[in-house]
Structure 1
Amino acid sequence: MSTVHPLGGAEALLADGTTVELRPLRPDDHPAVLDLHTAGMSEESRRLRFFGVSRNAPRQAADRLCGPPRTDLLALGAWVGEELLGEADCELLDDPPETAELALAVADRWHHRGVATLLLEHLVHAARAAGVRFFEADTLGGNHAVHQVFADLGLPVERRYAQGEVRVRVPLDEGDERYRSAVDERGRTADLASLAALLRPASVAVVGVSRREGSVGRTVFGKIRRGGFAGAVWAVNPHAGEIDGETSYPSVRALPAVPDLAVLAVPAGAVPGAAEECGAAGVRALVVLTSGLGAEEARGLMRACRRHSMRLVGPNSLGMAQTDPAVRLDAEFGGAFPRPGSAGVAVQSGGVGIALLSRLAWLGIGVSSFVSLGDKYDVSGNDLLRWWEADGRTDLALLHLESFGNPRAFARTARRVTRSVPVLTVDAGRSTAGRRGAASHTAAAATPTVTREALFRQAGITATRGIDELVEAAALLRSQPLPAPRGAVAVVSNAGGIGILAADACAEAGLELPELPPELGELLPPGASVCNPVDTTAAIGPNELTFFLRALEREEAVDAILVCLVPTALGSTPAQDPVRALLEGPARRRVPIAAVLLDQQVPVRYRTCADGGMLPAYSDSVAAARALGHARDRARRLAEAPSPPADAPDCDRRAARSLIDGHLTAHPDGGWLDPLSTADLLAAYGLPLTTTVWARDEHTAVTAARGLRRFGHEHEVALKAYWPGQLHKRALGAVRTGLGTDGEVRDAYREFAERFGPQLAGAVVQPMAAPGVELLAGIVQDRVFGPLVVLGAGGTAADVLADRSARLAPLSERDLTTMVDELRSAPLLSGHAGAPALDLTAVRSVLARLSRLADDFPELVEADLNPVILRPDGAVCVDARVRLERRPSFDPYLRRLRRPAAAEAE
C-alpha cells in the first residue's frame, strides 16, 4: 500500500485535567501493550475486548500492534510517564484506503476519564489524512461502555445487530460541525479542570523568596500575604529559615502540605530543577516569573510540566491575580492589588499589563482575574476565554496578545464567548507594509494587518488600536446598553463648533446622524438649532437639557446620544451647570449615552448618576465616537443569526488529492503548478477557469486556436507564454490578446520563442473573454493563521486600488455576501448608473469553492485567480496560478497542548 503514515505525537488533557502523551506505538512498546491487555484489564474487560477469554489474545494483540512498521496500520497509545493508559488502532482495508477496522482498549483504572474519546479524536484525524472515510468495528451487544464512547464522539454511528454482536460503522467525513462541537465541549471540560489549581488555588508556594527587600520573589510573597489570600502561603528558600517574619522552607518537599500553585522566582538555570521538584511533589500549576530562559532550560521546564500534569503561565510573566473573595490571590509584582470586579484581563507584556490595570483602576473597573501570559509556553488567551466564560463572575474580557498559537481554535472559542461577553483586544503588531516582492497579487494583499483583522472580525472581537482606545470602548460597553445595529447618533452640544467636530468624529467612525423632528426645538432656548448636530446654545439650563434629552431618547430615529458640554460663565453655579442634567437621569437608558466634557483632564472617567450608575465621560469627541462605533459593531454582530458554513457542492476531493500528491511526489520542494495541472485542479472544485489548451510549439498553437473557433468560442484568442517559475507574465510581455487569424497566432508564438529563448516551455491558448468587471480572488495559507481567502478589484488595478476584503477559511454563507459588500467597488457590481447588475451568485460560488479547496488542502499555499471577469450571466477566470508546498495535515480543532518553539528539541 502507498499510504503515508500520518500519526504524530502530541500532549493533551484528559477530562480531569491530567496531561497525557499521545504517540504511535513502536516495537519497543511491546511489554507495555502486553501489560495493558493483561494486568491493566480485568477478565471481564478482556472478554468484551476479545469476544471471549483467550490466554493468547493479549500477546497476539501486542504482536500485531508492535510488530515491524506497516503502512496499513495506524496504532496510537496514550501515556502518562511510562504507563500506557490505552490504545486505539485501525487497519486500512482498501487501496486506496476508504475503510479501516477499528479496535480500542483502555486500562480499567483509567475508565471514565476521557482516554478513549481522546485517542479516537486523534485517530480520526490520522485516518482522514490517510484518505479513510469509514471506521468499522465489531463489538458485543453488552459492551455498553464502548457504545457510549461511539455515541459521545460526535460523528454519526450506524449499527447492525446479529447474534449478540454489533457491527458499528462511523462515517468520518460527515457531521463536521457536530463533531467539532463535541470535541470543543470535551476540551472545555478538560481545560477548566486543569486551570482550577492556577486560578482558584487553595494553597500557594513562592519558590525563590529572597531576603533582599525589593526582589521579585519577596515582593510577590508579601503581596500574597497582604492581599488576604484565603489559603496557606509558604516561602521556599534553601538558605533562609525565616523571611519577613514567616517560616521559610528549604524545598517544596519540605512544605507542610502540597501546594496547588507554585510561583517560581529563581534564576533561569534553576527553573527546570525547581519545576521538576514541584511536579514530583504533586503541584498542579506553575507561574514562572523568570525571564531569559535558554533553549535547554525551556525544554526542561516543559518536560516537567507535561510529565507531572502542571499547567504553566509564563515564563517571563508579571504574575497573576484572582479577586474572587473566596480566593483573593495577588501573585504579581505590579504596583497595586487589582480592584475586585468583573473584567477578565490577559496580557503578554508585563508593561502593558501594568498600564492597563492602572487605567482600569482609575476608571473604577474592577478585575475578576488577571494573568500575565509572558512568553506563553502553555496557558493562552484561548484557555482564559474558556475560564471566563464559565467562572460566573466575568462580564468583560480584555486581551493583549502579541502572538497566536492556534488562531482558528481561538476564533472558534471567541465566536462563542462573544455572544454573551464583550471581548476587546489591542491589535498589536499592525503593519502598513505589505509583503513586498510577493509572487502573486493575493499574497501581496495578505498582510499581517489584513490577516489579524479577519481573525478578529470573524471571532466577534472588538479590536482597538491602543490601550487608551481599549479602555474607552470598555467604559461604554460595561456601563451602557448597546445601540441598535443601525448606529444612528444624535449629537447635542452647548457650543456649535464643538458639535460640528463631534459630528465629524461620528461620521469617521461610520455612525449615522439622522434628521430630528423640528418640534424638538420647542424644548430649547431661543436661537438654538435642532439640526443634527443639535446646538442648544450656552444659555440652556439643567432642567431644559434634562427634558430635551428625555424627549430625544424617545425618538425612534435615535440609537445613541453623544452630549458635548463646554464650561461657560453662564453655568458658573451648580444650579446652572448643564452637566447636572446628565447626572440627574439614570445611567442606563433606552439608548446608550456618552458625554464629552471638554474641561476633563483624563481621557475617560465615570460620572455617578442619580441612580448610582456610571455614565462614561470623555475628554475628546473622537474617543467617544470611536467607543460608540465599537458598540454599534457589537450590536450588529449580536443581531446576526449564526451562519452555516459556505456550501460548495460537487467538489471532487479525490481527484484534487491525486493531482496534489502527484505533483509533490515529482517535486518534493513544491512549486507552481503548470497551466494544465492548474486547470485540472480548479476544475475538480468547480472553479470557472476559461477553456485552456496547451501548445508546445507554434503549429499546436495555431491548431488549438482553430479548434476554439470551431467549437463556438470567440473569434479571437489569447496566447500566453509559459516556463517553470514564471512570475507576473503580463509585466514580462508574455501575453498577447485579440489574435484573430492563424498568422497572428503564429507570429505571436514566434515572438515568444525569440524573446524568451530556451526557457520557453510552451504557451496557453484561450478564447478571449467577453468584457465585464475584473476581480481578484485567491488564497494564501498562513503557517499560523491558516488559509486566508481574498477578494478584491482585479486585473491591472489589483495593486493600485488595494480594494480588498479578506476572511479566514472556512467561510460562512454570510461571509460570501459581506466580502462582496465590503469592497469599495461593490456599487459597480450591483448595477451602477443604469448598468445591468452582475451575477453576484457566481462570485459567491467562487469564494465558497476557494474556501473549501483551501480548507481541504493545506499544501495549497497560494492560489491567485486574476482576473475573474464578472458579467450579468456569470463569472470566468482567465488567468490562474497555484503554488503547492508539502505541509503536514493540521486540524486546528484537534485537542492538544501548545508546543512552544523555544522548547522544541534541537
Structure 2
Amino acid sequence: MTRTASRAQEVCALLADGSTVRLRPARPEDRGQVLRLYEEMSVDNLRSRFFAVSTRSGEQAADRLCGPAGPGHRTLVAVHGDRLVGVAEYENVDDPTSAEIALAVADDFHHRGVGTLLLEHLVHTARENGIAVFTADVLADNHLIHKVFADLGLRVTRQFDGTTVRGTIRLAPDERYLSAVDIRARTADTASMQPLLRPHSVAVIGAGTRPGSVGRAVLHNLREAHFAGLLYAVNPHAHAVWRVPAYPSVADLPHPPDLAVIAIPAAAVPEAAAQCGRAGVRALVVVTSGLDAEQSAALTAACRRWDMRMVGPNCLGIANTEEPVRMDATFAVTKPLPGTAGVAVQSGGVGIALLDGLSRLGIGISSFVSLGDKRDVSSNDLLQWWECDGRTDLALLHLESFGNPRAFSRTARRVARGMPLLTVDAGRSEAGRRAAASHTAAAATPTMTRGALFSQAGITATRTLGELLDTAALLHSQPLPAGGRVAVVSNAGGAGVLAADACADAGLTVPELPPDLVGMLLALLPGGAGAANPVDTTPTVSAQELSGCVDRLAESGAVDGVLVVLVPTAPATAVGTDLVTALTTRAPAARSGKPIVAVRLDQAERVRLLPTGDGRTVPSYGEPQAAARALRHAAERAHWLARPHGSVVEPPGIDSSQARALVEAFLAGEPAGGWLDARATDQLLAHYGIPRLRQACAATEQEAVEAAARLAGPGGGVVLKAQGPGLVHKSERGAVLLDLHGEQQIRAAYRDLTARLGAVMSEVLVQPMAARGTELLAGVVQDEVFGALVVFGLGGTTSELLSDHAARLAPLTDTDIRELLTTPRCAALLYGHRGSGPADTGALEDLLARLSRMADDLPELAEAECNPVIAGPGGITAVDARVRLLPRRAHDPYLRRLP
C-alpha cells in the first residue's frame, strides 16, 4: 500500500481512562511530532525502545515512520487533541506472513491503554494483509511492554537470549482475545460515561427566560430533582434563570462543568460544542433537533477533537436517580421515580411513555438516556454502564436502528446473563426492504433478521410498549418459570377457560393435573369445584382456600407457574379484593420459587404490582392475554439462560485460500459483481465440503446426451436445467425439465429449452434425478446492517410462498445450529413424521456449519442458496445452488472504535 493509499479516514477510540484518541496511518508531516515524542522520552524509556540512548535513534525512527512506505511497512499513530502520543509499526521483509513490530508511547500516557489500542488496530491491519505472526525483540527488564503483550489476549511465546527476549504473537483472534477486548472496552466505556451520568457540575446552554422553552424546562427539572452538584445557566441576556446564576458563555463560567446540555438553534450548535471543548467540558447532551448533515458532522468532530462524549442530538435528555447524583436533565413533564430499571430510547415520545409506566408500576429507573440521533453514545455504551453501575437490574431498550449489531449482540449476550434485557421490536414491517433475487434473500425479512439478533443475544422482544411493561412487571417481581406449563386457577369457570385459551395462544401449555394433586385440591376447595386444569374454585372460595390451592400447585412439580383469574362475583362484599390477599399475604418465595401472576377482570389498569407481606410484589393484569404473554417471555428467558453458551463450529476439510482465489478471480473479471455460473458455484461449494448432486454442463445437444449417459442414476432419469445470467428462478421460467430417459427424450428436451428460452440460455446443466426426501432450503444472506445470516427452513418451489424459515447471525455456534434446525415449523419432518424416517440431522448440522464458515470467510458473498437440499436417513444432497458475489471488504465489528 502506498503512502497515498494509506491516508485512510482516521478512527477514534477510547482509552482506559475514558479519554479519546484518534488513530490513523502516519503522514510525512507527522515527522516533527514523532521526533518530539522520542526527544521527550526518559532515558529509561529510550533505552527500552532502542536498546541504547542516542538522539540519532529517534531521528532515524522518525524518518522511517514518516517517510515513503515500503510494500510491507505499516505505521499507526495515536493523536490526543493536537498531540501525537503513540506510534506503532510493523514491517515484513522475507516472510510475507510474519512481521517485526515496534511500539512507543509518550511517557505521560503510559498505563492509559494507548499501546494496547494501537496494537489491536495494528493486528487488524496486519491480518487484512495476510500476516499471521508478529515478532519483537524486547529487553528482558522491559516489564511494561511484556505486560502489554501478555494482556493483549493473543497467544504469545518467548525465547530468552541474554538480556533480550524474542516475543512471537500469533494473530489468530479467538474467544480469549475477544473477551480481553470486551474487558478493555467496558473499562474505557464506563470511564468515559462518568462525566455524562455522574457529573459534579452541569451547565444548561440555552436556558431561556421565556416560559415553554426547552432549555428552561431542562433547568427547571434539574432544580426540582435537587441535583447534587453545581448548576449553571448559560444565557447572554439574563443574570439568573429559575434562580440559577446565568453567564454569557461557557468560557465565562467559574469552573468548567462536567456536563453541558445544549438547547439552542441548530445553526449555533457546532460552535457551542467547540466552545465547550475549549473550556474543558467533558460531556454533552444535545437536545436540539433539525441539524443538517454538515452541522451534525461538525458537532461530532468537536466531540472527538476535545475529548467529549455526547448524547443526541435530537433527544429528550438524560436522567440518573442515584442519591449522590439526583439528575433529571430532560424536558419531560414526568419526574423519574428512583428505581432499578435502566432505559435507553431513540424516540422521546416512547421515553416519556416508559418513564410514566415504570413510575406508575413503582419499578422506577436507575438511569434514563434518550439517544436521539445516536451520533455518539449508543445502546452498547448504556448496556456496559448498567452492567457495572451496581444498581440496575432490568434494562429496557427502544431502538429504531443498529449502528453495530454484531458488537451490540456480543455485549447484550454477556449483559443478559446478569439482568433481563427487554426491547420493543420496532420496524418489523420495513417497507423499504424488497425481496432480492433468491428465495434465501426473500426469506431474510427485517423481522427475521432482528429476531435472529434478539434470540441469540437473549433479548426479550415484545411487539408493543404495553407488552414491554407487562413483561417488565413480571420479570421485576417474580422468579423465572422452569418451563411453559401453567396452572390456571379461577373463581369463575368461564374466566378460567378464557385464560387457558390465552395461555395456549401464547405458546404455553395448560396440562392436565395428576390424580393425586387433583385429589388434594378438591379436598381443599368448596364443594362443586373442579381441578382438572383450569382449576375452578367456584365463586364461594375463601381467601384461605384459594391460598392453599395456589400453594399446592406451586409446590407440585406438575406446573412451572400459576395464573390466578379473579372475578368479583358478590356485589355485597368485595370478594375480588378479599381474594387478592390470598396472593399477597405470602411472598412468592414461599411458593417454591414459581411465578404467581394475577388477572383481575375488573382492573382498570393494564398491569399493576400488588405489594406482598414481605415488601415484594405480585403482578396483576387486566386481561389474561397480557399475563400469558408475559409468562411466555419469562419462560423463554429461562430457556435462554439454561442453554449452553455454545462454541463456534470449525468443520474439517475446508480450503479457504482456494475459495478466496475463486472469489477474487471472479470479481477481477466482473468488478460490479454478479451470479456465479454453475461450474464456479460447484467449485466454491466443493471448497467448503458441501455435498452436491453430480452434474455436468453441456453447451450443445450432443454434449447433453453424452452427459446424461454418464450421470443417469439407477432409474436412468436425468434433469436438464437451463443456465444463463437471467435464469435465477428456473422453475418459474419453465427452465427445468425432470425425469428424462433415453437419448430421444434428452434431445427433445434440449430443443424445447432452446426454442423457448433462446439467447437467454447459454448452456444446460445435466444432473441425475435426486433421491426422495424432505426438501429444505439452506443459505446465506449478507444484510447491509446486520452482516451475514444463515437461513434454514422448508425448501422447494413453495419455499417463498410458505415462508417457513429461521435465521441466525454468523458465525454459528453449535447451540445456534441446533436451534436453527428446530425453530421452523417443518422441523417435525426431520425427526420422523407419521411414519416417515428421520432425516440425517447430523449432516444438516454439518451443512449449516459449513455455510456459516463460508459466510464468515467471504464478505463478498452477497447471497448463497442451496435449494432444494434433499434430506433423508442416509444423508443430504444440495440439488440446486446459486451464489451471488459483490465487491465488499471485510469489516471487523469488534475492533474498538467510536461511531
* TM-score, normalised relative to structure 1: 0.95
CA contact (8 A) 2:726 2:760 kept: no
Q: State the partner residue of 2:510.
A: 513
Secondary structure of the 1:272 match is helix
* In structure 1, distance between residues paired with 2:644 and 2:456: 13
- The residue identity in structure 2 corresponding to 1:234 is Y
1:435 is displaced (CA, Å) by: 5.0
What do the CA deviations read for 1:685-738 (whole angstroms, capped 9, x no partner)?
A: 1111222323333333333333335xx887333222212243212211222232
Q: State the partner residue of 1:128.
A: 127
Q: State the partner residue of 1:594.
A: 597
- The residue identity in structure 1 corresponding to 2:59 is R
Q: State the partner residue of 2:490.
A: 493
Secondary structure of the 2:245 match is strand
CA contact (8 A) 2:203 2:234 kept: yes
Q: State the partner residue of 1:183.
A: 181
CA contact (8 A) 1:571 1:577 kept: no
Matches within 5 A, 1:133-532: 133-173=132-172, 176-431=174-429, 436-484=434-482, 486-516=483-513, 517-519=517-519, 520-532=521-533
* In structure 2, distance between residues paired with 1:156 and 1:829: 42
Secondary structure of the 2:732 match is coil
1:437 is displaced (CA, Å) by: 4.5
- The residue identity in structure 1 corresponding to 2:761 is L
CA contact (8 A) 1:7 1:126 kept: no
1:740 is displaced (CA, Å) by: 3.1
- The residue identity in structure 1 corresponding to 2:123 is V
- The residue identity in structure 2 corresponding to 1:62 is A
* In structure 2, distance between residues paired with 1:623 and 1:489: 14
Secondary structure of the 1:157 match is strand
1:574 is displaced (CA, Å) by: 6.6
Q: State the partner residue of 1:622.
A: 625
* In structure 2, distance between residues paired with 1:287 and 1:688: 55
Q: State the partner residue of 1:867.
A: 868
What do the CA deviations read for 1:42-93 (whole angstroms, capped 9, x no partner)?
A: 3332332223344433333233222334442222111123322112222244
Q: State the partner residue of 2:795.
A: 794
* In structure 1, distance between residues paired with 2:28 and 2:581: 80
Label 1:787 to 1:541 Cα distance change in 2 as closer, same or farther (>3 A): same
Q: State the partner residue of 2:49.
A: 49
Secondary structure of the 1:629 match is helix
What do the CA deviations read for 1:242-269 (whole angstroms, capped 9, x no partner)?
A: 2233321011111111110000011101
CA contact (8 A) 2:584 2:617 kept: no
CA contact (8 A) 1:86 1:107 kept: yes
1:438 is displaced (CA, Å) by: 2.1
What do the CA deviations read for 1:138-167 (whole angstroms, capped 9, x no partner)?
A: 222222222111111111012222233322
Secondary structure of the 1:625 match is helix
What do the CA deviations read for 1:558-591 (whole angstroms, capped 9, x no partner)?
A: 2111000110127615799322322222244321
1:626 is displaced (CA, Å) by: 0.7
- Once the two structures are overlaid, the 10-residue window that deviates more, 214-223 or 50-59, is 50-59
* In structure 2, distance between residues paired with 1:5 and 1:690: 46
- The residue identity in structure 2 corresponding to 1:123 is L
CA contact (8 A) 2:649 2:813 kept: yes
Residues paired across the two proteins, number: 892
Label 1:301 to 1:429 Cα distance change in 2 as closer, same or farther (>3 A): same
Label 1:793 to 1:212 Cα distance change in 2 as closer, same or farther (>3 A): same
What do the CA deviations read for 1:787-811 (whole angstroms, capped 9, x no partner)?
A: 1110010011211221111111111
Label 1:15 to 1:744 Cα distance change in 2 as closer, same or farther (>3 A): same
Label 1:250 to 1:521 Cα distance change in 2 as closer, same or farther (>3 A): same
- Once the two structures are overlaid, the 10-residue window that deviates more, 475-484 or 697-706, is 697-706
Structure 2 unaligned blocks of 5 or more? none
What do the CA deviations read for 1:859-897 (whole angstroms, capped 9, x no partner)?
A: 111111111111111111011111111112201111010
1:614 is displaced (CA, Å) by: 1.3
Secondary structure of the 2:251 match is coil
- The residue identity in structure 2 corresponding to 1:608 is P
- The residue identity in structure 2 corresponding to 1:309 is D
1:290 is displaced (CA, Å) by: 0.2
* In structure 2, distance between residues paired with 1:829 and 1:242: 73
* In structure 2, distance between residues paired with 1:100 and 1:266: 52
CA contact (8 A) 1:571 1:578 kept: no
Answering whether residue 818 of structure 2 is matched by residue 820 of structure 1, we say no
What do the CA deviations read for 1:18-62 (whole angstroms, capped 9, x no partner)?
A: 1111111223323223333x3242333233222334443333323
Label 1:766 to 1:2 Cα distance change in 2 as closer, same or farther (>3 A): farther
What do the CA deviations read for 1:745-804 (whole angstroms, capped 9, x no partner)?
A: 333333333333334322222232211111100111111111111001001121122111
Secondary structure of the 1:795 match is coil
Q: State the partner residue of 2:67.
A: 67
Secondary structure of the 1:356 match is helix
Q: What's the C-alpha RMSD, in Å, of the aligned pairs? A: 2.0
- The residue identity in structure 1 corresponding to 2:668 is T
- The residue identity in structure 2 corresponding to 1:204 is V
CA contact (8 A) 1:6 1:126 kept: no
Secondary structure of the 1:577 match is helix
Label 1:754 to 1:614 Cα distance change in 2 as closer, same or farther (>3 A): same
CA contact (8 A) 1:713 1:767 kept: no
CA contact (8 A) 1:435 1:443 kept: no
* In structure 2, distance between residues paired with 1:749 and 1:428: 50
- The 4+ residue runs of structure 1 with deviation greater than 4 A are 1-8, 432-437, 573-576
* In structure 1, distance between residues paired with 2:636 and 2:529: 32
- The residue identity in structure 1 corresponding to 2:793 is G
Secondary structure of the 1:894 match is coil
CA contact (8 A) 1:668 1:886 kept: yes
Instruction: Find the partner of 1:698 among 698, 701, 726.
Output: 701
- The residue identity in structure 1 corresponding to 2:75 is A
What do the CA deviations read for 1:660-703 (whole angstroms, capped 9, x no partner)?
A: 11212221111111211111111111111222323333333333
Name the % identity: 57
Q: State the partner residue of 2:642.
A: 639
Label 1:734 to 1:60 Cα distance change in 2 as closer, same or farther (>3 A): farther
CA contact (8 A) 2:562 2:595 kept: yes
Label 1:798 to 1:214 Cα distance change in 2 as closer, same or farther (>3 A): same
* In structure 2, distance between residues paired with 1:821 and 1:2: 51
- The residue identity in structure 2 corresponding to 1:216 is V
Answering whether residue 658 of structure 2 is matched by residue 660 of structure 1, we say no
Secondary structure of the 1:145 match is helix
CA contact (8 A) 1:494 1:540 kept: yes
* In structure 2, distance between residues paired with 1:6 and 1:217: 41
* In structure 2, distance between residues paired with 1:636 and 1:22: 42
CA contact (8 A) 1:207 1:236 kept: yes
1:271 is displaced (CA, Å) by: 0.4
* In structure 2, distance between residues paired with 1:414 and 1:878: 38
- The residue identity in structure 1 corresponding to 2:262 is L
